[in-house]
Structure 1
Amino acid sequence: MLNYAIRRLLLLPLMLVGVSLSVFMMLHFIPGDPARLAAGPDATEADVQQIRENYGLDRPLMTQYFIYLRKLSHGDLGDSFQTYTPVSEGIARTLPATLELTAAGMLIAVLLGVPLGIAASVRPRGLIDNCLTTLAVLGISLPGFFLGLLLMLFFSVQLEWLPPTGRGGWSHLFMPALTLGLPYVATFSRLTRSTMLDVLGEDYIRTAYAKGVSPLNVVFRHALSNAAIPLVTVFGMDFGRLLGGAVIVETVFAWPGMGRFMIDAIVARDIYVVQGTILAFATLVVLVNLLVDLVYGILDPRIAYA
């Protein structure tokens, strides 16, 4: 397992080079002059030209990329066009808020989705199962930004219980995390239900019931442990989706995270900030998927790492 993890980590720089090249090319083919946007509407042509020279924007495109790649190999993500501060400082400032929001959203999705799925699998086509199906369709169909506005209208405007925007204690975190995690409750609940139904139909489950094992032990000790691998797989996939959804949620709730930091940079064509934040997102997704692959071996020792 250790050798497998080391090999995956050694491939990480190559993956990030591919991501950086794709993002670099897309940003430079978007219409508009980032130097002119950075200089402002009242800047002279000489000021714009000076910014191009300072940031190397007057050089050939591939030369710009290799300069950026050389800086990246030394941990330098460049400087922001807007604030003239290192991009790494902005990422270090906003990344903890995004991780906090994403972790809270994932926690809500798992803590609500898995028990609901288990309850639905124990009594298929019962009341809980039918309600769960309706809620799952609603949760998947409802856009995140619209759900966030509804929660804000209810908890902040009508009840005046929670602050509508900003970052602070749990009262600030509750609505953004619920907005982010609630659609994924449907994913975890439906997947838990289907995998549990498959496992509960196996012969060893019937044998456990015949030996007098309590239904609670059968469900949680025998069935859930064997149904966990698909859930872990979805956890890794949904983590990347939650990071993407955090971009919208952070904008709606004015949450000072990396997603909002990136959106502001896209609007301002601050290309180094956009490149740096996307690389940070890509690194997080790759590391979480590596962690998921390692958890497979813990859940099922029969899995071999080639």
Structure 2
Amino acid sequence: MLKLFYRRFTLAICLVAVASALTFALIALAPGNAANFLAERAAGPKATHELVQKIERDLGLNDPLYIRFGHWVGDVSEGRLGESLRTGHPISDEFAQRLPTTIRLLLGGGVIAFFMPLVIGVAGALSNGGVLDRSLRVLAIVGASAPNFFVGALLVLLFSVKLHWLPAFGTSGLLSWMMPWVTVGLFPTCVLSRVVRVTLQELMARPFATTGFAKGYGRAGVLIYEALPNLAVPFLTTFGAQFALMIIGAIVVESVFAWQGIGAFFIDSIRFRDFPAMQAILMTFVVFFVFVNLLVDMVCMLIDPRIRRSQFESA
């Protein structure tokens, strides 16, 4: 078992290394020159070509790409993410201020995306082609098709402008988190609810479901005692992928609700061509995505011996 974990962890480290090299190359080859931006900020319209060249030498922008990447990896390994070109502050300080907001957003949306699909999927399976099942299917398709910014705007219009129940922006209390949590969690909830419903329908045709009916269980009993335990692995696998992708939705949600999280920091970095901050944030996204899926893989191996057996056979 430990050998399997070690193999998965090593693969995750390799994926992060490759992704870091690709993202660094993409940022370095992007249009624009950070030296020009810094020179204009320091001297305004009077910035000279000599000043730009001096900044390029000081930042090492004239060095080959692989040398710059090596310096960046060395700094990151020591916990130094560089300074923001936009604010002049260390990027690690910006992360320390903004990361708790994004974490709370993802955790709240993740709780919704974990439990609501199970409720919706089981309710649809119990209805089994009835009015409730068809209605939930339509709602799931509509919810999965609606972009985050549109959902957020509708929620603000309804609950803030019309009903005055919830604040439209800010992080002043629990009520201010409700609409952002729903907004970021709606898409994965709808996707996962369809996964749960379709998987349960397939599981109800398995021999163990027939055995459950033979034991005297009704449809609800077979769903709960026989089908749901076998749903764990496909549900957790899909949930892990959807939860990791919620970091992308957080960029939009934080902009809609005027939050100062990592997503809003990323938008500001793109707008002002803050290349060091863009690189640090992109790597944060990559690490988050890779290690969330790594954690889900390990949990699935723990709860399902068939996965461990297949991994040993393929080794």
Instruction: Calculate the TM-score normalised by the size of structure 1.
Output: 0.92
**What residue number does 2:287 align with?**
283
Residue 43 of structure 1: CA displacement? Answer: 5.2
Moved over 6 A (4+): none
1:117 touches 1:193 (CA, 8 Å); kept in 2? yes
AA aligned to 2:262 is M
Question: What's 2:52 paired with?
Answer: 48
Conserved 8 A contact 1:81-1:270: yes
Q: Are residue 180 (structure 1) and residue 184 (structure 2) matched?
A: yes
Q: Give, in whole Å, the separation in 1 of the partners of 2:150 and 2:243.
A: 21
TM-fit CA distance, 1:23: 1.4
CA distance in 2, matches of 1:15, 1:32: 28
Aligned to 1:153, the other structure's residue is in SS state: helix
**2:92 aligned partner:** 88
Give matches, 1:1-306, under 5 Å: 1-39=1-39, 40=41, 41-42=44-45, 44-45=47-48, 46-213=50-217, 215-304=219-308, 305-306=311-312
Compute the displacement of 1:146 (Å). Answer: 1.0
Distance 1:90 1:249, change over 3 A: same
Aligned-pair identity in percent equals 37
Answer whether contact 2:126 2:220 (CA < 8 A) is retained.
Answer: no
Deviations for 1:89-137, whole angstroms, at most 9, x for unmatched residues? 2223222211211121122122222111111112221111110121122
Distance 1:43 1:194, change over 3 A: farther
CA distance in 1, matches of 2:224, 2:114: 15
Distance 1:76 1:223 in 2: 49
Q: State which drifts further: 189-198 or 117-126.
A: 117-126
Q: What number of residue pairs does the alignment pair up?
A: 306
In structure 1, how many angstroms separate the alpha carbons of the residues matched to 2:11 and 2:208?
A: 41
Contact residue 148 and residue 183 of structure 2 kept, 8 A: yes
Whole-angstrom CA distance in 1 between matches of 2:3 and 2:101: 33
Confirm or deny: 8 A CA contact 2:188 2:243 kept in the other structure: no
How far the C-alpha of 1:245 sits from its partner, in A, is 1.0
Mean CA deviation greater in 52-61 or 290-299:
52-61
Judge conservation of contact 2:126–2:219 (CA < 8 Å) in 1.
no
Deviates more, 1:61-70 or 1:116-125: 61-70
**Paired letter, 2:199:** T
Deviations 1:42-66 (A, max 9, x none): 3512543443233222333333222
Provide the secondary structure at the position in 1 that maps to 2:307. Answer: coil
Q: Which amino acid aligns with 2:235?
A: L
**CA distance in structure 1 between the aligned counterparts of 2:91 and 2:6, rounded to whole angstroms:** 28
Do the aligned partners of residues 158 and 33 (structure 1) sit closer, same or farther apart at CA in structure 2, a change above 3 Å counting?
same
Residue 3 of structure 2 aligns with an amino acid whose one-letter code is N
5+ residue gaps, structure 1, are none
| Structure 2 CA distance for aligned equivalents of residues 214 and 128 of structure 1 | 19
CA RMSD of aligned residues (A): 1.9
Q: Gaps (5+ residues) in structure 2?
A: none
